[in-house]
Structure 1
Amino acid sequence: MKAILCHQFGLPDTLTYQEIESPKAIRDKVVISVKACSINFPDTLMIQGKYQFKPEFPFSPGGEVAGIIKEVGENVKNLKVGDKVFSLTGWGGFAEEVLADASKTFPMPENMDFITASSVMYAYGTSYHALKDRADLKKDETLLVLGAGGGVGLAAVELGKIMGAKVIAAASSDAKLKVCRKFGADEVINYDKENLKDSIKTLTDGKGVDVIYDPIGGIYAESAFRSISWKGRYLVIGFATGEIPSLPLNLPLLKGASITGVFWGAFAAREPEKSQANFTELLDFFAAGHLSPHICATYPLEKAPEALTSMMKRKVIGKVVLVTGNPNSKQL
């Protein structure tokens, strides 16, 4: 089979596209013939050695796939050969086949295609856990989403509206904010053109925002936190800008506010029943037509380095997906 491999830490152009041996299903694992694999920000970190998990070389990036079960291990009872599934693999998904844990592999809904299925778990799982379990977002509260044009950001915009919040989407371009409007944002801020703190103050009549969803970190974190309301909740999702911010700790004291970390992967591992309940609710939202990931581009597998580069250069709005056997891929 063909796969994209990382032989040493570096930028996307150091990755190779080559033939490797197909995996074999053992014990509690399944082999999936990959039809689509979405690209997430952690993939860009993993190939550079900047992520919390460092697989042994050589490895293939790609932690979120959709495809068809090719083989099942002897202990797998809930899945069978031929099933259409989506799965969280951690890594290994930039390939024609991947070995996956059966416990992290789920049947696809009948009305869902492979590209959509490969874009559901990471973005929506992270955002729903953040807003529901960590922020306890309430109806009529105000939610500020930083990096709202990205995959997890757009998911947070959609979910915030479903949960009854007023959503302010903040992003780095008018094109991204136009998409945010389509996905339900009530107000938008272009923080490359506008003063973030002043804009928040204007849009909230000086009251501030109840919940801040921050997947980017960097220079916008302190400005956003200074605009948080009394007893507000600041959600630390990630650091897409590459810079981990330092916040003055007198700010949460003065605001009676909290800074809350969000690590969905650890939550799913430590509290699997709650995670599964969340995922069931998300699938209900999809079935009802309330959620739909924005796929801005698809690439054939061999073009994975180009797709990763587009994400690192902040060209991606929503999700970008690698596909196998599709000559009609749409590139940025």
Structure 2
Amino acid sequence: MRAIQYEQFGDYDVLHPVDIPKPVLQSGQALVRMTVAGTHPLDNTVRRGKLPPGTVKPFPVTPGSVGVGTVEEPGGSDLAAGSRVMISGGRYGIAFDGTWADYIAADPSNLLPVGDEVGDTAAAALSAGAGYLTAYLALTELANFQPGQTVLAPGSGGAVGQGGVETARHLGASLAITTATTTAKAELSRAAGYEVIDLARESLRDGIARLTGGKGVDVVLDGVAGPITGQALGALARGGTLISIGYSAGMQTEINVTDLIWNAAQLRGFQFAMFTQEQINTTNARLLALVASKDITPLVDRVFPLEQAAEAQRHLIENGPFGRVLLSL
């Protein structure tokens, strides 16, 4: 079968196509024939060797944490052969070989059925970057979000930015805001129906003050970090919560501690290890239903063939795409 692997940590050029045997199934595992795989900033972090020692499986590593495929051998699952499934949870591409391959050996608990009303590309776009799943769990489980509150999800082209806005609106936010670093991307965001602050024309704090009448936002879903974190903290309403999710703009920030003290604000970190597999599957099933009903629409920037996985990863990390970047198998 075809796969993408790397045999040492490094830049994009360590990724290379290989021809290897199908996975040998362990007890209870199912064999899934992948059709569309997603790319994720985490894939880049893992490949660069930025996780703690011992976290990543021995080389070679097949990347890819998410995607959609068809069950070929059900193993210990109750899924019928030919069932379409989405990878839901698990540590694929890290502790286990991942989805950037024709076939993957998967724990049945990480396989979620996909209905006929949702296509492979749409389901893969939902899972790529995990923005919708992250936003839903962060708002409902960590932020104590209530309908009528306001939400900021910076980074209009990214998974958390887009997923955060759409999920917040579905959950009843009175206002869901994102940001764009260029006017061109702000225009794309508005065309997609997002309330966006064009950071090329006004500061984050000024934009939030303008849109909220000076009150600030109740929740920030911060998948960007870098300078944005400190600025967003200062844009919180009294009693607001900032949930730190990712760091596409950098791992360091500066904060004014009075933004925490005077606003009685909260800072929380997010990671999927905080949630059970049942919570992840239940949430992904809800999100698939929302895709089917067109209440949310995950956007796709570009689909690359599997053999161009290195270029797909570079495009995701360096080019700031507006939507998800996928791999076709």
The TM-score normalised by the length of structure 2 is 0.91
Residue deviations 1:168-209 (CA, integer Å, cap 9, x gap): 111222343334334442x31122442222222222221111
Residue deviations 1:230-256 (CA, integer Å, cap 9, x gap): 000101111112323243444222111
Q: Aligned-pair distance for 1:282?
A: 1.9
Q: Aligned-pair distance for 1:78?
A: 1.4
Instruction: Name the structure 2 match of 1:155.
Output: 163
8 Å CA contact 2:303, 2:326 repeated in 1: yes
Alpha-carbon distance in 2 for matches of 1:149, 1:316: 6
Q: 1:107 aligns with which of 96, 102, 113?
A: 113
Moved more, 133-142 or 149-158: 133-142
Alpha-carbon distance in 2 for matches of 1:156, 1:19: 38
Mapping for residues 115-130 of structure 1, pairs under 5 Å: 115-121=121-127, 122-130=130-138
Mapping for residues 1-332 of structure 1, pairs under 5 Å: 1-51=1-51, 53-73=55-75, 76-88=76-88, 90-91=92-93, 92-121=98-127, 122-165=130-173, 166-185=175-194, 187-263=195-271, 265-268=272-275, 271-324=276-329
Instruction: Name the structure 2 match of 1:330.
Output: none
Alpha-carbon distance in 1 for matches of 2:113, 2:285: 12
Q: Aligned-pair distance for 1:300?
A: 0.2
The secondary structure found in structure 1 opposite 2:239 is: strand
Alpha-carbon distance in 1 for matches of 2:319, 2:140: 27
Alpha-carbon distance in 2 for matches of 1:128, 1:46: 24
Moved more, 218-227 or 174-183: 174-183
Alpha-carbon distance in 2 for matches of 1:117, 1:212: 26
8 Å CA contact 2:4, 2:306 repeated in 1: yes
Moved more, 76-85 or 8-17: 76-85
The secondary structure found in structure 2 opposite 1:31 is: strand
8 Å CA contact 1:154, 1:183 repeated in 2: no
8 Å CA contact 1:5, 1:17 repeated in 2: yes
**Distance verdict in 2 for CA 1:140–1:106, change over 3 Å:** same
The secondary structure found in structure 2 opposite 1:154 is: helix
Structure 2 residue runs without a partner (length 5+)? none
The secondary structure found in structure 2 opposite 1:69 is: strand
Structure 1 residue runs without a partner (length 5+)? 325-332
Identity %: 29
Residue deviations 1:205-224 (CA, integer Å, cap 9, x gap): 21111111110100111111
Q: How many residues are treated as equivalent by the alignment?
A: 318
The RMSD of aligned alpha carbons is: 1.8
The TM-score normalised by the length of structure 1 is 0.90
